Amino acid sequence: MTPSPTNARPDLRLVDVSRRYGPVTAVDRVSLDVAPGEFVTLLGPSGCGKTTLLKCIAGFLPPSEGQVVLRDEVMNDVLPHLRNIGIVFQHYALFPHMTVADNVAFGLRMRKRARTAIAGRVQEMLRLVRLPGFADRYPHQLSGGQQQRVALARVLAVEPVLLLLDEPFGALDKKLRVEMQLEVKQLVALLGMTTIFVTHDQEEAMRMSDRVAIMHAGRIVQCAAPEVIYDRPCDLFVADFIGSSNLLDGRIRGTSAGRLRVEVAGVPLEVPCHASVRPAGEDVVVMVRPENLALSETWPSDRPAWAGVVSLALHTGPVMEYEVVVGETWRLRVSRPRMQVESARVWAKGDRVAVTVVDLKAVRIFHGDTAGATSVRSL
Amino acid sequence: MPAGRLGGRVGHVTFWVAIWTLALGGLLYLLLPTLIIVVASFTAGEYITFPPQGLSLRWFTRLMALAEVRVSAWRSLIVATAATAVAVVLGVAAAFPLVRGRFAGREALNAFLMSPLILPSLVYGLAALMFVSAIGLPLSVPVLVLSHVAIIVPYVIRTTAASLALLDPHLEEAARSLGANAWKTFLRVILPNLLPGIATGAAFAFISSFDNLTVSLFLAGPRVETLPIRLFAMINFDFDPAAAAISAVLVLITFAVVLLAHWAVGLTRVIRL
């Protein structure tokens, strides 16, 4: 179940939070509600303000403006150790001079729990993260994945209101990273933990989140479920940042019966009108995902097509990635699953092909500032 | 063998011969005088000679019998211990803003706090004496301790700051988010990880206080004589092997402190790594 962001009481509410460093605005009027049990990711390139926002939530930085509200309580002036927010850092920040058990017990000791209760809870947490029998080890005796799990156990032991994950998988190699993503996701879901996850890795964000908040220049530009972000990016930045896309210069030729006619690389496409109607003659940028393009040898009779030459054919395992040169300057990225029956044909460099759009409903049109999105994109 | 390759081999060999010669020569030059005075202190004769005339512990026995030596040695230990304790507290506290702080003039403050290492201690001794008499403090052990603190605290600041700079700042944030207030974060998380640095700095500080002569000469006064002052007086007035014996004791204590610090650092390393 994906919790709705409109629940009565969000666990975390950010109201117009800004953070400035002198003349630099690192976080710019960010508002966000996170429902109980929701997993929200702050995703953006480095320097977009996501880590600064995380520090504001945790209490390590006071916001310049706006409010951080945790379960109906304004937290702006509450010191970090009184917020009951758990954080897992990229390099885990385990206390090197303490055993695993002492690390996990640390938060409980700070809360002055009874000795026997602490011992029981530590055992329980170590079982939860599948590290029973590691109680007496020191952090340096553990692998990266094990340190990661100890860091999780340490944070979850105190039952925080909110869990913050600050690029926690960045230090792991790819295979382990995917395993840990799955493990953390399951653990967090099991405990119903409200979680904010910071990353610059879009695949990781898509795989783990209920909602993804794309940050750019200190602001949240779009916050939605992963499939919505992918299928209906709200602007060119998101379209370019998430997944790979063909961003092509186009020109509006007019509308008819709820359809927008747009000319792209000399070929007219009729796209369902999903946005405001634009005047004919306007320059726009047209986004077509590589998997939404198909290649064929014969000219299709039922739909418009570009004539092109395959200039690059790459194996990636499950998918073939092609680059097709159309006309003089246009390069289209096309990706086709290799096992798909009707397009089982694998193309080679130099093949002459017709390129068609599979699903016109999935084509997006943006206002044309073509400077940032040229039609020539190499693989 | 081609000429070029032979030349390369000769160059390689001469390099290592030069390095070893310099290192061993330098080491010998540094250690030899100390070695000679220590060996000479075991003489059975009436004068400091090298090689010693016979071997005995008679001059050490005589040291024990000299009341003023015992008193001054005890006082030096007390002064050095007290000064080191104060310097550790002040130095560790000062290291924090110097490493973690973000303020204008941080580098200038750093340079200022290091200045006692650079300024001639003779100048500092004179200045401290004038300052103390200007504010009307009588010369006493506490005054001596405080003047030593000023010249030894840079050692503690330096080594603590070096340890702190290597410590992951996220450790502090992790402790804070787990519910530790600023004090508990410091005592339970930061301090244990700084111990190797603090121990090293404290050892340097203790030794520089223990064998300090220049500042003590100004601030000791007639009734608060330290061991280095006693040694200095003995060399001036009756240059007998007891002076060599004091030197041997000073060397011994210095080595003991260094070994102790080494052991303490080693121990914490074992815990950490």
Q: Is residue B111 part of a domain?
A: yes
Write down the pLDDT at residue B244: 87
Interface A–B counts its CB contacts (< 8 A) at: 70
Tell me the C-alpha distance between A84 and B203, whole Å.
41
Tell me the C-alpha distance between A3 and A194, whole Å.
10
Stretch A205-226: mean pLDDT, rounded?
Answer: 95
Q: Is residue B214 part of a domain?
A: yes
Q: Is residue B93 part of a domain?
A: yes
Kindly indicate the confidence band of residue B165, based on its pLDDT and cuts at 50, 70 and 90: very high
Kindly indicate the confidence band of residue A101, based on its pLDDT and cuts at 50, 70 and 90: very high
**Which residues form the domain of B216?**
59-272
Token pair belonging to A346: 């694998």
Token pair belonging to A313: 């054919």
Query: Residue A371: is its pLDDT beyond 70?
Result: no
Write down the pLDDT at residue A197: 96
Tell me the C-alpha distance between A48 and A200, whole Å.
10
Query: Residue B140: is its pLDDT beyond 90?
Result: no
Model pLDDT for residues A274-325, shown as the tens digit of each residue: 655 567 788 888 999 999 999 988 888 888 899 999 999 998 888 889 999 9
Write down the pLDDT at residue A373: 38
Write down the pLDDT at residue A277: 58
Tell me the C-alpha distance between A335 and A316, whole Å.
10
Query: Residue A2: is its pLDDT beyond 50?
Result: no
Bigger pLDDT: B121 vs B270 = B121
Model pLDDT for residues B71-119, shown as the tens digit of each residue: 888 999 999 999 999 999 999 999 988 998 888 888 888 888 888 778 8
B195: nearest CA partner in chain A: A97
Write down the pLDDT at residue A342: 57
Model pLDDT for residues A246-268, shown as the tens digit of each residue: 998 888 888 877 788 888 888 88
Write down the pLDDT at residue A278: 67
Stretch A106-123: mean pLDDT, rounded?
Answer: 95
Model pLDDT for residues B220-246, shown as the tens digit of each residue: 877 788 989 988 888 888 777 888 888
Query: Residue A341: is its pLDDT beyond 60?
Result: no
Torsion angle, CA of A144/A145/A149/A152, rounded to 10 degrees? 70
Write down the pLDDT at residue A378: 29
Contact B173 A58 (CB under 8 A): yes
Domain count, chain B: 1
Q: Which residues does chain B have within 8 Å of residue A110's beta carbon, measured at their own beta carbons?
A: 178-180, 184
Kindly indicate the confidence band of residue A162, based on its pLDDT and cuts at 50, 70 and 90: very high
Write down the pLDDT at residue A309: 93
A58: nearest CA partner in chain B: B177
DSSP codes of every residue in B13-65: HHHHHHHHHHHHHHHHHHHHHHHHHHHHTTBSSSS--SS-SSB-SHHHHHHHH
A91: nearest CA partner in chain B: B170
Q: Is residue B17 part of a domain?
A: no
Q: Is residue B30 part of a domain?
A: no
A170 touches chain B (CB under 8 A): no
Percent of chain A at pLDDT exceeding 70: 92
Model pLDDT for residues B35-77, shown as the tens digit of each residue: 898 898 888 888 888 888 888 888 888 888 888 888 888 999 9
Tell me the C-alpha distance between B20 and B18, whole Å.
6
Stretch A96-113: mean pLDDT, rounded?
Answer: 96
Kindly indicate the confidence band of residue A119, based on its pLDDT and cuts at 50, 70 and 90: very high
Query: Phi-psi bin for A37: left (phi > 0), alpha (psi -120 to 50), beta?
Result: left
Write down the pLDDT at residue A376: 34
Kindly indicate the confidence band of residue B138, based on its pLDDT and cuts at 50, 70 and 90: confident
Q: Is residue B100 part of a domain?
A: yes
Contact A106 B171 (CB under 8 A): no
Token pair belonging to B21: 């010669």
Q: Is residue B174 part of a domain?
A: yes
Write down the pLDDT at residue B48: 82
Q: Is residue B185 part of a domain?
A: yes
CB-based contact A284:A252 (threshold 8 Å): yes
Kindly indicate the confidence band of residue A343, based on its pLDDT and cuts at 50, 70 and 90: low
Packing angle, helices A174-191 and A144-156, rounded to 10: 20
* pTM (predicted TM-score): 0.81
Q: Which residues does chain A have within 8 Å of residue B178's beta carbon, measured at their own beta carbons?
A: 81, 86, 106-107, 110, 154-155, 158
Domain CATH number, residue B235: 1.10.3720.10
The mean pLDDT of chain B is 88
Query: Residue A152: is its pLDDT beyond 70?
Result: yes
Lowest average pLDDT, out of A103-112, B5-14, B137-146, goes to: B5-14
Q: Which residues does chain B have within 8 Å of residue A106's beta carbon, measured at their own beta carbons?
A: 175, 178, 180, 188
Write down the pLDDT at residue B180: 95
Tell me the C-alpha distance between A211 and B168, whole Å.
31
CB-based contact A271:A262 (threshold 8 Å): yes
